[in-house]
Amino acid sequence: MLKNDPLANILYVDLSKKNFWVDNRQDLFEKYIGGTGVATQLLHEECPKGCDPLNAENPIIFAVGPMTALFPLASKTVAMFKSPHTGNLGESHCGGRSAIAIRMAGYGAIVIKGSSDTPLYLAIHGNRVYFRDASSLWGISAFTVGRIIRENEHGAGLRTIMRIGEAGEKLVSYSCVTTETYRHFGRLGLGAVFGSKKLKAVVVSGKRSLPISNIKQYRKVYDEIYQAAVTSPAMKKYHDLGTAENILPLNELGGLPTRNLKETRFEGASEISGEKFAEHYLGRRIACTHCPVGCIHIAALREPYEDEAYFYKTSMFSYDYEPIYALGSMLGGSDTKGILKLMDQVETVGLDVMSTGVILAWATEAQERGIISGKETKGIKFNWGDYNAYINAVRLIIEQPNEFYKTLAHGVEHAASRYGGEDYALSFGGNEMPGYHTGPGAHIGVLVGARHSHLDNAGYSADQKSFLAKKQNSPEELAESLLSEERWRQILSSLVVCFFARGIYKPDIVLKALKSAGFDLAIEDLNRIGEEIHKEKYRFKIREGFSLDNLRLPKRIFETPSPLGKLDEKFIRETIEYVKKTLSTVGV
Amino acid sequence: MRLVAEADRCVGCQNCMFACARRQNEVGLSKACINVRSIGGLERGFIGVVCRACDDPPCAKVCPTGALKLRAGGGVRLNINKCTGCGYCSDACLIGAIFWDDEINKPMICIHCGYCVKFCPHKVLRLEKKEAIEHAQK
């Protein structure tokens, strides 16, 4: 890397001692590029073995990469922590203005350690760090706290405001951190780690120039990437209908989880489709910083007040495929207004929308089957598609007035271990399922993925390829394809570029772009580094007790047919066995 | 030619800000002469803060050293050698379009070159011929 690149600077903040310092860690960036590669090493360094994720010892790590602020679509920040949801590796990615703000403030990574006794928020403006009292902000919604901080801090247009809602404060294990109102570090409970530290928000801003190896060459590579980004058909879908475009094709395919995956086709799919949302609700499209695509779709919902005629409020919510799946088909609801109102509730308190939907779906089926009753639910009658009930339930997950809601606040696996119904508690590796029942690849991918996310290795994409080719891979082939995809994605998330741009950031482009940032690497180096980062993540996971043996597979996935037919447990176990074998050959 | 913006179309991607820096052979944002920010929250949309090539620019009028001169076609030209960095121009610009170079303590102002237009993916920015309006003669 270039000697004078501020990327090597890591800002350490200690919330217990209210102090901060900067270390130059060129060693880490030289070896692991940035983003997820560097964050994984920092997690090894900072997170003590076996620590309680909600204890002061658990660090929060944010990392960006050498492409950040240099090239378009390098717009993501990687957050790393020990997850209070799974008790293991916690990793979540977010866009908005977060990545550029951290890079422009002069850092490649920020490590937040310790814990405060009283609520505070951090204001990081370039090389200045302020510990601001947040007593007056505690209990305020994730929307409103952003508005207040926006008024109190400088750097408009050049800053990120990461914050939590009540879910994080109440330590709900799947609470999120929201940035710029509409983007999230959604999965695995970073919000609760913030909450446990009494950290309400982190605002980061900055403005600087960055070094480059050869400006002429850089501008050439930049133009090439930019042109590809604005002309490539691969980016068009994100721009037009957005990810919500996937509702109809997945439904047609029979891969859209419906009513807690009792079915995979939803009769109300057309009502909740990307087309429908665009036609009736799309109010605005926005973009992350330095991304020409603008995939963030914002719905405008106009609602009348019931107590007064001609009196309305208009609220804006971002929607995507996953929230529509989780709060729509998974809950058997096609009432788009209901979905948007539930989304509003989820956003206001700051929960991960995917986990929330899956948990509510489990609760609905559990009540349907009579394993829980009105006694547990405090009188709520969960019915498929009854959004008033769901909105009230979210409120109770935050308030946790009884054992049942306290249990729901720790995820579906926890709830099922207490009340039963494991067979239809749809979590994989402890994380609630994403919106794909496309075949074995989707579920295996999430199970073996380092962060139990569909984005780890895109198993659903492997399924789609099998479907199109009309040929199911062998367990060995599937294992190999998932692993190689996940290893390559370690590179993308170390740079850190948006996965939506994976069709543009092919190896040759990545190498050219890295050269501008002073990284003289070959394709073999990228493959080696990708494999190494993946291994390092698994090293952490195993240290914290993860094992590929005896992973829980909810029976439901074998009952409901996928587009590739009924799933076979033996096939899945064999594939996992191959993953294990392959990992052991590289020393995991 | 002068730069004009149709801010309602803006998605807030800020590619123009990076483009402005790149045109000056810089990487990052410290030399950008355009700023895109939300109107108090992303849900309400964006504004692009950039020199609008006033017919009778106050920045030039208040410059005590004559460092800012009217540019043919719109906007102003900065003679950096004459500029003392007093900041009067910045105070006089109500829209905040005088950006500041902290390294050399001098203003940075859009020169209406139109490079950013090429990197505006949603046709927010465009170059337009400035019609001559002679305020002084009215």
| CATH number of the domain where residue A69 is located | 3.60.9.10
Tokens for B1, please give them.
């030619």
| Residue A219 forms contact with B (CB below 8 Å) | yes
DSSP class of residue B7 equals G
Distance CA A311, CA A496 (A): 45
Binary contact (B30, A209; C-beta < 8 A) = yes
**What's the pLDDT tens digit per position in B68-106?**
999 998 999 999 999 999 999 999 999 999 999 999 999
The interface residues of chain A toward chain B in range 157-196, judged by CB-CB distance below 8 A, are 157-158, 180-182
Residues of chain B with CATH 3.30.70.20: 53-109
- Is residue A165 domain-resident? yes
Q: Which residues does chain B have within 8 Å of residue A298's beta carbon, measured at their own beta carbons?
A: 42-43
Domain count, chain A: 3
> What's the domain range around A191?
6-205
pLDDT at B132: 52
Distance CA A97, CA A179 (A): 8
User: Are residues A516 and A576 part of one domain?
Assistant: yes
A205, A222, A256 — which closes off a domain?
A205
Contacts of A220 (CB under 8 A, 6+ apart): none
Reduced to 3 states (helix: H, G, I; strand: E, B; else coil), residue A91 is strand
Binary contact (A150, B121; C-beta < 8 A) = no
Residue from B17, B23, B27, B30 to probe the interface with A (highest A Cβ count within 10 Å): B27
Reduced to 3 states (helix: H, G, I; strand: E, B; else coil), residue A113 is strand
Tokens for A390, please give them.
């769901």
Q: Tell me the H-state helices in A369-474.
A: 374-377, 387-399, 403-408, 412-419, 440-448, 459-469
For the beta sheet containing A312-319, the strands, ordered from the edge strand earlier in sequence to the opposite edge, are A282-286, A296-304, A312-319
User: Are residues A161 and A249 part of one domain?
Assistant: no
Q: Which residue of B has its CA nearest to A219?
A: B22
Q: Which residues does chain A have within 8 Å of residue B97's beta carbon, measured at their own beta carbons?
A: none
Reduced to 3 states (helix: H, G, I; strand: E, B; else coil), residue A559 is helix
Residue B60 has pLDDT above 50, yes or no: yes
| Residue A205 forms contact with B (CB below 8 Å) | no
**Amino acid identity for residue A215 in this structure:** I
The alpha carbon of residue B16 is apart from the nearest alpha carbon of chain A, in Å, by 9
Distance CA A333, CA A329 (A): 6
Neighbours of A122 (CB within 10 A): 22
pLDDT at A588: 84
Of A182, A209, A292, the CB nearest to B121: A292
Closest CA to A565 of A467, A494, A493: A467
Contact A98, A179 (CB under 8 A): yes
Distance CA A86, CA A174 (A): 9
- Is residue A414 domain-resident? yes
User: Are residues A365 and A509 part of one domain?
Assistant: no
Q: Which residues does chain A have within 8 Å of residue B15's beta carbon, measured at their own beta carbons?
A: 72, 226, 290-292
- Is residue A181 domain-resident? yes
The alpha carbon of residue B8 is apart from the nearest alpha carbon of chain A, in Å, by 10
Length of chain A: 588
Q: Which residue of A has its CA nearest to B28?
A: A209
Binary contact (B40, A298; C-beta < 8 A) = no
User: Are residues A152 and A79 part of one domain?
Assistant: yes
The partner residues of A179 in beta bridges, in order of sequence, read A162, A183
Burial of A525: CB neighbours in 10 Å, binned 0-12, 13-18, 19+:
middle
Q: Tell me the H-state helices in A47-141.
A: 98-104
Reduced to 3 states (helix: H, G, I; strand: E, B; else coil), residue A177 is strand
Distance CA A27, CA A494 (A): 15
User: Are residues A197 and A241 part of one domain?
Assistant: no
Q: Regarding beta strands A109-113 and A431-432, do their DSSP bridges make them parallel or antiparallel, or are they unpaired?
A: unpaired
Binary contact (B13, A292; C-beta < 8 A) = yes
* CATH, domain range B53-109: 3.30.70.20
In order of A5, A116, A165, A202, A348, the CA distances from A16 in angstroms are: 30, 5, 22, 16, 28
Full DSSP string of A222-280: HHHHHHHHHH-HHHHHHHTT-GGGGHHHHHHHT-S-BTTTTBS--TTGGGGSHHHHHHH
pLDDT at B136: 44
Taking only Cα atoms into account, the Rg of chain B, rounded to an integer number of angstroms, comes to 15
Q: Which residue of A has its CA nearest to B99?
A: A207
In order of A18, A121, A287, A460, A516, the CA distances from A186 in angstroms are: 27, 20, 18, 20, 32
User: Are residues A66 and A182 part of one domain?
Assistant: yes
Distance CA A333, CA B1 (A): 54
User: Are residues A554 and A451 part of one domain?
Assistant: yes
Contact A395, A343 (CB under 8 A): no
In order of A3, A42, A98, A107, A403, the CA distances from A9 in angstroms are: 11, 13, 17, 5, 45
pLDDT tens digit at each of 588 positions of chain A: 999 999 999 999 999 999 999 999 999 999 999 999 999 999 999 999 999 999 999 999 999 999 999 999 999 999 999 999 999 999 999 999 999 999 999 999 999 999 999 999 999 999 999 999 999 999 999 999 999 999 999 999 999 999 999 999 999 999 999 999 999 999 999 999 999 999 999 999 999 999 999 999 999 999 999 999 999 888 888 889 999 999 999 999 999 999 999 999 999 999 999 999 999 999 999 999 999 999 999 999 999 999 999 999 999 999 999 999 999 999 999 999 999 999 999 999 999 999 999 999 999 999 999 999 999 999 999 999 999 999 999 999 999 999 999 999 999 999 999 999 999 999 999 999 999 999 999 999 999 999 999 999 999 999 999 999 999 899 999 999 999 999 999 999 999 999 999 999 999 999 999 999 999 999 999 999 999 999 999 999 999 999 999 899 999 999 999 999 999 999 999 999 999 999 999 888
In order of A3, A190, B76, the CA distances from A56 in angstroms are: 34, 14, 55
- Is residue A449 domain-resident? yes
pLDDT at A234: 80
Distance CA A67, CA A75 (A): 9
Binary contact (B28, A209; C-beta < 8 A) = yes
Looking at chain B, the whole-number percentage of residues with pLDDT higher than 70 is: 93
Q: Assign residue A523 the CATH number of its domain.
A: 1.10.599.10
Closest CA to A382 of A414, A349, A415: A415
Q: Which residues does chain A have within 8 Å of residue B18's beta carbon, measured at their own beta carbons?
A: 69, 72, 290
The interface residues of chain A toward chain B in range 248-307, judged by CB-CB distance below 8 A, are 284-294, 298
Binary contact (B119, A292; C-beta < 8 A) = yes
User: Are residues A294 and A180 part of one domain?
Assistant: no
User: Are residues A440 and A544 part of one domain?
Assistant: yes
- Is residue A219 domain-resident? no
Contact B50, B3 (CB under 8 A): yes
Q: Which residues does chain B have within 8 Å of residue A163's beta carbon, measured at their own beta carbons?
A: none
Reduced to 3 states (helix: H, G, I; strand: E, B; else coil), residue A57 is coil
pLDDT at B131: 65
**Amino acid identity for residue A426 in this structure:** L
Closest CA to B50 of B101, B6, B105: B6
Contacts of A279 (CB under 8 A, 6+ apart): none
Of B11, B27, B30, the CB nearest to A286: B11
| Residue A104 forms contact with B (CB below 8 Å) | yes
User: Are residues A264 and A140 part of one domain?
Assistant: no
Q: For B48, phi and psi rounded to 5 degrees?
A: -110, 115
Neighbours of B87 (CB within 10 A): 13
Neighbours of A448 (CB within 10 A): 26
Distance CA A539, CA A62 (A): 20
Q: Assign residue A393 the CATH number of its domain.
A: 1.10.569.10
The alpha carbon of residue B137 is apart from the nearest alpha carbon of chain A, in Å, by 39
Q: Which residue of B has its CA nearest to A296?
A: B11
- Is residue A477 domain-resident? yes
Q: Which residues does chain A have within 8 Å of residue B49's beta carbon, measured at their own beta carbons?
A: 157
- Is residue A214 domain-resident? no
In order of A37, A147, A489, B72, the CA distances from B117 in angstroms are: 36, 31, 33, 20
| Sign, Cα dihedral of A384, A388, A389, A390 | positive
**Amino acid identity for residue A207 in this structure:** K
User: Are residues A453 and A532 part of one domain?
Assistant: yes
User: Are residues A451 and A389 part of one domain?
Assistant: no
Distance CA A279, CA B60 (A): 48
- Is residue A198 domain-resident? yes
Chain-centroid distance of CA A498 in Å reads: 12
Q: Regarding beta strands A199-205 and A183-185, do their DSSP bridges make them parallel or antiparallel, or are they unpaired?
A: unpaired
CA atoms within 13 A on the CB side of B108: 19
Reduced to 3 states (helix: H, G, I; strand: E, B; else coil), residue A21 is strand
Residue from B14, B20, B23 to probe the interface with A (highest A Cβ count within 10 Å): B14
Q: Which residues of B touch A (CB under 8 A)?
A: 11-15, 18, 21-22, 25-31, 35-38, 40-43, 45, 49, 119, 121-122
pLDDT at B137: 42
Return the biggest CA–CA distance within chain B. Answer: 44
Q: Which residue of B has its CA nearest to A298?
A: B43
The alpha carbon of residue B134 is apart from the nearest alpha carbon of chain A, in Å, by 35
